[in-house]
Amino acid sequence: MASIKLYNKTGDEKAIKIQENLKMHFGKIPNVFKAMGRNGDFLEAVLKLSETAGKGLDNKTKELIMISVSAINGCTYCLDAHRTAALKNGITDEEITAAIEVAATISFFNSFNKAIDLESDLKSK
C-alpha cells in the first residue's frame, strides 16, 4: 500500500491528460504514475527526463541498467516493471541475471572500498 495518495485521473488537468495517454500506452495507469499524478508539470518533467536519459544507448542496454540499479537499490516495483518490459522486448532471463550479477559485484567493491576509505590508484589520465 502506498504511503501517499494515488491520483487516478484526479490531479490537475495536465496530469489527467498525461494519465489518459499512459493508460492508452500501458492499458492501465501504473501506480507510479498515479503517485505522481497530482501535478501535471511534475509528471511531464519526470517522463521527459526518463525519455531523454541515456541518449545514445540502445534500449536493451538502458533496460539492463534500469533493472540492475533497481535490484541494487531494492526497488521491487521498478525491478518488476523493467524486467517485464525487457522480457517483452526480447531480453532473456539469462541477460537480466548477468546484468544483476555485474551490478551486485560492483556494489560489493563500492561498499568494500568505501568502508576502508581506499585511495584510488586507477585513475584515467
Identify the active-site residue in 35, 65, 69, 75: 75
Q: Round to whole Å and give the CA distance between 26 and 88.
A: 13
DSSP secondary structure, 56-96, as one string:
TS-HHHHHHHHHHHHHHHT-HHHHHHHHHHHHHTT--HHHH
Could you give the CA distance from residue 50 to residue 93 in angstroms, rounded to a whole number?
A: 24
Examine the residue annotation and report whether 78 is marked as an active-site residue of this protein: yes
Q: Which of 32, 46, 69, 78 is catalytic?
A: 78
Q: Classify each residue of 1-25 as buried b or exposed e, where b means 16 or more C-beta atoms within 10 Å of its C-beta.
A: eeeeebbeeebbeebbebbeebeee
- Catalytic sites, residue numbers: 75, 78
